Amino acid sequence: MKQYLLAVQFDESAPSPSEADFQAQMARTGKVTDEMKAAGSWVFVGGLLPSHAATVVRPGAGTTTMTDGPFAETKEQLGGFWVIRCDDLDQALTWAEKCALACGEPIEVRPFDDGSDRR
C-alpha cells in the first residue's frame, strides 16, 4: 500500500468561522477520520496553528537563519493534514473528497516518495 498526504489548504485571509461552525467542522472531520480508522487507511492526522506561529529555518553559506512567520507569503497555508494508506491514487482521492466536504476547504493530495518512481 502507498501512503498519501491529504493537506488542508486553509485561507488565512477569510473570516474565522463562528465557534458553532468550527465545532460542526471538527465533528464532520472527526467522522471522516473515524471512517478512515475503520477502513484501515488512517495513519496520522493533525491540525496546525496559523502560519504566524511558524518559524522558518533557512540554510545558507554553512549556517542557518531563523525568521518568524510562514515560508511563503500567500493567503493559503497548510492548516492540517491526514496521512493515509491506500491501494492507489483513486482511493486516496475518494478520501480527499470526503475530507474536503467535511472541512469545507481544498485538499491537496500528494503521494509519499517510496522510491519506486525514480527515473
Where is average pLDDT lowest: 4-8, 19-23, 71-75, 111-115?
71-75
Sketch the domain layout of the chain as residue ranges: 2-111
69 Ramachandran zone, left/alpha/beta (phi>0; psi -120 to 50): left
- For the domain made up of 2-111, the CATH class stated in words is alpha beta
Residue closest to 46 by CA, chosen among 94, 86, 81, 84 = 81
What's the whole-model pTM score? 0.83
Answer whether residue 119 shows pLDDT above 70: no
Give per-residue pLDDT as tens, 47-103.
988 888 888 888 999 999 998 876 666 667 788 999 999 999 999 999 999 999 999
Phi, psi torsion values for 101, nearest 5 degrees: -65, -35
Residue 22: the pLDDT is 92
Residue 69: the pLDDT is 75
Residue 71: the pLDDT is 65
- Alpha carbons 89 and 47: distance in angstroms, whole number: 23
The residue behind cell 485538499 is 107
